[in-house]
Chain A
């Protein structure tokens, strides 16, 4: 297992080989359907967008959060199905310079192409491993767009050895999901 630290440079992303296992520390931000929609809408309308999205490690996740004194604590935070963001992700990657996406289930060819173009990787987290992942997010740095609700808000975390994460789409746009899908035995 290789240990990596965010923020990631384009070179960092390019150095991650398809199928390898990594553990990530450093800042990450969550975004799913509603945050993607609003971010792109705000860009189009010239409105403010949270600074934390730029150059980020984006986590497809709608966590269960609980109040912890003045702040927040992650109770359960597994990845959500990334394919729901397929139509919006290429523009997100291009406009925000996203370096890594953490999710589950993989993403479309169009997203892979944008990853190749911009130098971004897709890291597969274990779906449903919500408590283990929450434990690897000990620090909540804050939230943006809380009005979207707990699942859809943009949560800012400091990850501490989050993993195992599998490099499932590399910065060349090659996808492990596509390889598995092509070699499936269908009788």
Chain B
């Protein structure tokens, strides 16, 4: 806990630095476990190179991956009216200071703004509550994995077996492109856009699923996908996913939306809870 009156802009720079340079402990442990269980020599070398890189990034205070993504912010609790501008200022400063790679471009002209801002940026989701605090969480996800995102509008008759097949195929068809082994976020139900939001939020979550049915499905998919042989970087081996995380919501009686947010090994997140002039930092997140 830090007891300094700190601007929101500075807090945003701090969580971007934390998320980019230090892997959350649950993800780090999952990688260590994967490396310990791996029996394929080539796969072990990949996992060793990843763990080595994670240590160097933390030690040197540099982003662990050059693709520092487009940061996705979640603001929960009391929503200050200027929060979007403050986050934008934090992103601009973090890009120059950490530094982050300037990634945002106009989708048609491909012109780069140079500061990770521009039309529609930054991406901020709001979760207003009656709490006295304001919590800003950030997820950093590169394009290699983001490009593998899938939304399937399945038929209700496809059922749980259809959902699991869709998730497994999404991961296996992506091959080595999204830098496996990563955390796979899954949304089941809702409307099309809600389903994708659930998948993203699930991928970011550090907590255990409270729903026993979903927990069972997560475990089944974890075993099934890791038994595929795809392996780290798609070069073969036992470690293809670090975790599968699922959320669900009710959907239309005629629909069965399923969204898969494929993550890379570098599941990067951090959050800050601001109460008065107190700021508490954490790398756990649940939005």
Partners in one complex: yes
A residues adjacent to B (C-beta < 8 A): 19, 21, 34, 61-64, 66, 75-78, 80-81, 83, 104-106, 124, 126-132, 134-135, 149-151, 164, 166, 168, 176-177, 179-181, 183-187
Q: Are A64 and B168 in contact (CB under 8 A)?
A: no
Contact of A62 with B67 at beta-carbon distance under 8 Å, contacts A83-B177, A126-B53 already known = yes
Assembled-state Cα–Cα distance A75/B100 (Å) = 10
A130-B63, A168-B235 known, 5 other contacts, Cβ within 8 Å? A64-B100, A75-B99, A105-B177, A130-B53, A166-B42
**Could you list some 24 contacts between A and B, CB below 8 A?**
A64-B63, A75-B99, A76-B66, A78-B67, A83-B177, A104-B179, A105-B177, A126-B53, A127-B264, A128-B264, A131-B64, A132-B56, A135-B56, A150-B101, A150-B102, A151-B101, A164-B49, A166-B42, A166-B235, A176-B236, A177-B176, A180-B175, A180-B234, A180-B236
Task: Indicate which residue in B50, B57, B168, B175 contacts A186 across the interface (CB closer than 8 Å).
Answer: B168
A109 CB to nearest chain B CB (Å): 14
Central interface residue in A19, A83, A131, A168, by most chain B CB within 10 Å: A131
Looking at chain B's contact residues, is the secondary structure mostly helix, strand, loop, or mixed?
loop
Check if B128 is an interface residue, CB within 8 A of chain A. no
Assembled-state Cα–Cα distance A126/B264 (Å) = 12
Q: Are B229 and A183 in contact (CB under 8 A)?
A: yes
Q: Count of A-B contacts with CB under 8 A?
A: 151
Contacts of B144 in A (CB 8 A): 80-81, 104-105, 127
Contact of A62 with B229 at beta-carbon distance under 8 Å, contacts A130-B53, A131-B53 already known = no
Contacts of B68 in A (CB 8 A): 64
Q: Are B65 and A130 in contact (CB under 8 A)?
A: yes
Contacts of A127 in B (CB 8 A): 144, 176, 179, 233, 264-265
Central interface residue in B52, B101, B224, by most chain A CB within 10 Å: B101
